[in-house]
């Protein structure tokens, strides 16, 4: 059969198949861009800002393109017919493209929602020390472990007024055991413990980019019981999207539950 006499339905089917293949390819490309940001940062190929400010938005745009082309493939398939393989590719293009486009959209919506600081503590006047993390921070070219002072304290009082020390009706020795058990229950990496000083140093890594947040816990006598303070601070960036405040709240809740 000559090209001129090729039935229109067959031409439409080929077009639908081509659109499905293109949509699936774009979806895979978007997924690769989404993964490249954290992989490159963890491997030391580029700064995390390349992943967040360049690769992440690009993944979103390519994901949207995959959605549009895959949707066109399904419309053509419904109108002109297409192979089962083409329909499956188009559906996969929609799903994968949607996933790749969702994360940049979600991250962009979070920008500006949370205050632009990432150091949370239950004691803004005398926060637990993060000196144990200074060497690791220098190696990462990260921010200093020093507390930001009155400016950060004022921001926290305004943004997270509910965060306060945990008071337990336990001796410092018993409270330290509860504090350590609660820290271990959070899945953190325990770096160092000092029962005599009443301090616990730990770290926690984000699942996606692998950012490390440093955590310091301090147990001190308070009246007939004990006071437990915690500080959680990110090494990189300025805003943490509320991660450190949420971590402190979870820990305090676990601690108070364990301490009765």
Tens-place pLDDT, residues 30-70: 999 999 998 998 888 988 889 888 999 999 999 999 999 99
**pLDDT for the residue 4:** 46
Once rounded to an integer, what is the mean pLDDT over residues 173-198? 95
Average pLDDT, the chain: 88
Single residue among 82, 110, 138 that ends a domain in this structure: 110
> Could you tell me if 175 and 124 lie in one domain?
yes
Domain region containing 247: 119-259
Where does the pLDDT of residue 14 fall: very low under 50, low under 70, confident under 90, or very high at 90 and above? Answer: confident
Same domain, 94 and 175: no
User: In the structure, what pLDDT confidence band is assigned to residue 80 with cuts at 50, 70 and 90?
Assistant: low
Mean pLDDT check: name the lowest of 99-103, 139-143, 200-204, 243-247. Answer: 139-143
| Residue 37 belongs to some domain of the structure | yes
Question: Are 41 and 156 in a shared domain?
Answer: no
pLDDT of amino acid 259: 61
* Structural domain count, the chain: 2
Task: Centre a 10 Å sphere on the Cβ of residue 111 and count the other Cβ atoms it contains.
Answer: 10
CATH number of the domain encompassing residue 198: 3.30.530.50
Residue 147 counted as domain residue: yes
Instruction: Supply the pLDDT for residue 131.
Output: 95
Query: Is pLDDT above 70 for 18?
Result: yes
pLDDT in tens, 221-237: 999 999 999 999 999 88
Task: Record the tokens describing residue 87, joined without a space.
Answer: 């329909």
* Same domain flag for 94 and 159: no
Contact between residue 147 and residue 119 where contact means Cβ atoms under 8 Å apart? yes
Read off the pLDDT of each residue in 175-180 and give the average, rounded to a whole number: 96
Residue 228 lies in a domain: yes
Q: Is residue 188 part of a domain?
A: yes
Same domain, 190 and 254: yes
In this prediction, residue 81 carries a pLDDT of: 61
Is residue 176 domain-shared with residue 153, that is, in the same domain? yes
80 or 14, higher pLDDT: 14
Residue 3 lies in a domain: no
- Examine the fold and report which residue of 86, 110, 134 is the final residue of a domain before the chain moves on: 110
Same domain, 152 and 195: yes
CA 41/CA 147 separation, integer angstroms: 26
Let me know whether 129 and 248 are in one domain: yes
SS (H, E, C) the chain: CCCCCCCHHHHHHHHHHHHHHHHHHHHHHHHHHHHHHHHHHHHCCCCHHHHHHHHHHHHHHHHHHHHHHHHHHHHHHHHHCCCHHHHHHHHHHHHHHHHHHHHHHHHHHHCCCCCCCCEEECCCCCCCCCHHHHHHHHHCCCCCCCCCCHHHHHHHHHHCCCCCCEEECCCHHHHHHHHHHHHHHCCCEEEEEECCCCEEEEEEECCCCCCEEEEEEEEEEECCEEEEEEEEEECCCCCCCCHHHHHHHHHHHHHHHHHC
Report the 3 state secondary structure along 213-246: EEEEEEEEEECCEEEEEEEEEECCCCCCCCHHHH
Residue 29 confidence (pLDDT) above 60: yes
Q: Mean pLDDT throughout 182-199?
A: 95
Q: Specify if 17 maps to a domain.
A: yes
Across 59-86, average pLDDT:
86
**Judgement on whether residues 105 and 150 belong to the same structural domain of the protein:** no
Whether 100 and 123 map to the same domain: the answer is: no
Query: Residues of the chain with pLDDT > 70: what percent?
Result: 92
Are 239 and 125 in a shared domain?
yes
| 1 falls within a domain | no
Given a cut of 90, whether residue 247 has pLDDT beyond it is: yes
Question: Is 136 in the same domain as 160?
Answer: yes
Last residue of a domain, which of 62, 87, 110? Answer: 110
Please report, rounded to a whole number, the percentage of residues in the chain having pLDDT higher than 90.
64
């Amino acid at each position: 059969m000559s090209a001129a006499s090729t039935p229109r339905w067959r031409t439409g089917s080929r077009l639908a198949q081509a659109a499905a293949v293109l949509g699936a390819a774009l979806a895979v490309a978007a997924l690769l861009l989404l993964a490249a940001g954290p992989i490159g940062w963890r491997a030391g190929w580029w700064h995390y800002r390349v992943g967040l400010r360049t690769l992440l938005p690009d993944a979103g745009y390519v994901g949207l393109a995959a959605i549009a082309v895959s949707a066109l493939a399904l419309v053509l398939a419904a109108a002109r017919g297409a192979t089962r393989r083409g329909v499956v590719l188009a559906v996969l293009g929609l799903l994968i493209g949607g996933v790749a486009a969702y994360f940049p959209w979600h991250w962009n919506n979070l920008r500006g929602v949370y205050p632009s600081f990432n150091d949370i503590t239950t004691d803004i006047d005398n926060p637990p020390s993060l000196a144990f993390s200074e060497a690791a921070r220098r190696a990462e070219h990260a921010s200093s472990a020093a507390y930001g002072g009155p400016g950060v304290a004022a921001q926290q009082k305004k943004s997270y007024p509910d965060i306060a020390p945990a008071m337990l009706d336990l001796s410092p020795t018993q409270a330290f055991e509860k504090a350590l058990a609660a820290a271990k229950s959070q899945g953190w990496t325990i770096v160092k413990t000092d029962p005599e000083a009443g301090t616990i140093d730990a770290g926690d890594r984000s699942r996606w980019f692998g950012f490390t947040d440093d955590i310091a816990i301090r147990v001190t006598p308070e009246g007939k019981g004990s006071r437990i303070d915690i500080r959680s601070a990110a090494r990189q960036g300025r805003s943490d999207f509320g991660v450190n405040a949420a971590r402190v709240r979870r820990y305090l809740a676990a601690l108070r539950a364990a301490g009765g």
